[in-house]
Structure 1
Amino acid sequence: MITIAQIALPSSPAPSRAMKEFTRVLEQSALLVEGDTESVSTTEIRTLRYRNQFSWRSICLLAIDTGLGQRMESNYGLPLLAGSADGVARWDKDSDQPVSITPEQPWPGTVIGAAELSIPLKENLDSAYVFLHALPGHEDALAHLWETAQNIFRTEKRSKISSYVDHKFGTDHRAPSSDVSLASTTISDFLISAGFELTQTEICSRLSLPADETVLAPLREAAIAKSGDYRLLSWTGGTPEEYLEDMVEMMTAFEMDMPVAGIVEAEANYSVERLIKSEQMMATLGTTSIITAAQHIPTGHLAGYTQLDFEPGKHSVIQEDTLVLKEHRGNRLGYLIKIDNLERLREQAPERTFIQTWNAGENEWMWGINEQMGFRPHTAVGLWQRKI
């Protein structure tokens, strides 16, 4: 017997047994493909993030190898497990505080799988994402998790479903949009059987730190030589007030410029309010963001930006957005801002050992910059999609 349970939103930062088990399953999945768990947030960070839902609704599910008996149920009719150590919290819609907290009774069985459902709340309101995981030897949990996910998506009126899956490089699968080929995994095998199709691939690459200055120096010099009308600005954490509007414009452009494939169209509904709230949430999670931007001196407006994020408890840094507005391209600003941001990172977090980033297989321009800076392919990612 396999039971699918939902983890309740946590009411405190102290992780519950269920949140610890959820992280354990994700770490096992990461080890199989990536060889480490650097891409998996710590249980403490995941608990904080699960509580702070703003532009996305996240739903965490566990597959357990036995029945759970009589328990409180979620709005989707699933047995509820505590999200934090103080018990099972019940929430009213848009409430900042739980209306009740019920101490959790011990629950039996072994967790054999997990799924995270991500439902966008600001754009692509017909779409959703599912991330499926099963421990080796328990792949039968995937069908139960997917069936539950479908029921939730139908309740939420989401019909375009996407699933990102980590892969090793191989020759089993290739998307129409690029030449990046993937090796099969138990997850991709299941998704194919469930009617999903591969629509896009990404390269996950890493740059060892500290970066090689003999590689960066000539790239920096060439970029400086072409960037006379620009100057660099950097900040850590919240965006300075005078640049909020420009950042919203660039973040919108980044979303609209990203290579897309398959059934989900590019949409972006950013605002100053949304940016400020997002940055406040990042600070609550303990995530540090280092941003370097290029300012066009004649107009005073920002022309491009790049962002590095890192969480407590990890060795890695995540290279997030890099964008140069179309009217400012051709001045090697992408090189300039990325290389300068590496210097800011070295100053603020010299203990970090590598940067990890992802590029769509067809985004040869950005991959070319990263490769010249010293990034090397690590693993691949497949975007699998279907309609329900």
Structure 2
Amino acid sequence: MNVSIHHDLGEAAAPAQAARDAAALAERAEQARLGHADFHYRADTLAAFARDEDESQLLILLHDDAEVVGFLHVFLPRSDNTHAVHVEATLDPERDPRPLLDALWPVFRDLCREEGRTACTWWESSRQDDPTLAAATGTGMVEATPVTAWLEEQGFALDQVEVASTLWLPVDLEKVQPHTDYELLTWQGNMPEHLLAGMARLRSRIVTDAPTGSREVEEARWDDARMRREEELTRQARRTVLWAVALNSAGEPVGYTKMECPEGQPEIVYQLDTFVRAEDRGHGLGRSLKTANLEQLAALRPQVRRVHTWNAGENEWMLDINRTLGFAPTSAIGAWQRTL
């Protein structure tokens, strides 16, 4: 078997062979693992996100002759948290995972050393059929598999579990009025110029505010330029963003939620960040924001049938809001942590 590292994955309009091979394997592996193929990155998305200057993304591919039998999707933050590396493994579901992981691991470990990364988070998806491994946070469990056994042998510990939840549309949403001290704005696409600075401040805070288990996380470094870079990258990845933002009486953004709609997959939407700064909590803004964005989604994209979202198992505030809206847990993702 042969292992190769791929930094350049081509253009979104013309993905490299490595991106196409990885996407094809990911679709097959996800279908076998979770019973659907809604989560994996398509080839055009892989190619676009590999050009992110704030977080490098690359693939480590494992070939058996001409066939790709496994790969690691590696995420290397460049603008902040540069001590960390994140990785997801995708393996041929018809093969024993251990020799595949044994072949990929030395190349990944050497890459981390070259990059000076000291903390690794390995994300591994899990069904809900028979969760038996508990996270160090005390909240959430994942299924024990040959991959989780291999991770434990390599010195990884299950630090945190994220709950993957799905909302099946259409649904009847109960109208939620925002607190009288706040105004809600919704739109599709790029951020209005007058909100950039305030939204950059919120984006910087969410990383340290959200539950991250025992992982050391520093505040992200967002500014106007990074916001615009993200918008261009998202456009290249053929994703459209739907925003809902809460403004206080001074017109300052104090909370937001966002969805990404992948073009070419009209039935799927990804519910991503939802954040309300601490000094403005207790007014029901989280639920108001999510409801407003779901209403916008129904108006602009009535063909959507599934909204997927992910939350830390200990984030009961957000999970309660999701349950109220009709989201139901469908799978989980384990955050396995190891010092390098």
- Taking structure 1 as the reference length, the TM-score comes to 0.83
| Contact 1:3 1:63 survives alignment (8 Å) | yes
| Contact 2:10 2:47 survives alignment (8 Å) | no
Which of 275, 284, 288 is matched with 1:323 structurally?
A: 275
In the alignment, does 2:272 pair up with 1:307? no
**Structure 1 consecutive aligned stretches of length 4 or more whose deviation exceeds 3 Å:** none
Shift, 1:11, TM fit: 4.3
SS of the aligned residue for 1:330 comes to: coil
Cα distance in 2 between the residues matched to 1:184 and 1:266: 31
Shift, 1:381, TM fit: 0.8
In the alignment, does 2:153 pair up with 1:193? yes
Shift, 1:172, TM fit: 2.1
Larger radius of gyration between Structure 1 and Structure 2:
1
| Contact 1:317 1:356 survives alignment (8 Å) | yes
Counterpart residue number, 2:287: 335
Counterpart residue number, 1:99: none
Counterpart residue number, 2:186: 234
Cα distance in 1 between the residues matched to 2:166 and 2:131: 22
Cα distance in 1 between the residues matched to 2:312 and 2:283: 23
Counterpart residue number, 2:242: 290
Counterpart residue number, 1:59: 58
**More off after superposition, 30-39 vs 140-149:** 30-39
| Contact 1:133 1:187 survives alignment (8 Å) | no
Counterpart residue number, 1:268: 220
Counterpart residue number, 2:138: 178
In the alignment, does 2:137 pair up with 1:137? no
In the alignment, does 2:329 pair up with 1:358? no
Counterpart residue number, 1:23: 23
Cα distance in 2 between the residues matched to 1:235 and 1:65: 47
Change (3 A) 1:210 1:242: same
In the alignment, does 2:45 pair up with 1:35? no
One-letter code of the match for 2:18? A
SS of the aligned residue for 1:384 comes to: strand
Change (3 A) 1:29 1:193: farther
Change (3 A) 1:245 1:323: same
Cα distance in 1 between the residues matched to 2:325 and 2:227: 29
SS of the aligned residue for 1:336 comes to: helix
Cα distance in 2 between the residues matched to 1:196 and 1:176: 12
Cα distance in 1 between the residues matched to 2:138 and 2:319: 13
Shift, 1:120, TM fit: 0.6
Counterpart residue number, 2:83: 126
| Contact 1:178 1:361 survives alignment (8 Å) | no
Change (3 A) 1:11 1:114: closer
**More off after superposition, 141-150 vs 181-190:** 181-190
SS of the aligned residue for 1:229 comes to: coil
Change (3 A) 1:330 1:263: closer
Give the total of aligned pairs.
335
Shift, 1:267, TM fit: 2.7
Where structure 1 has 5 or more consecutive residues not aligned to the other structure, the ranges are 67-108
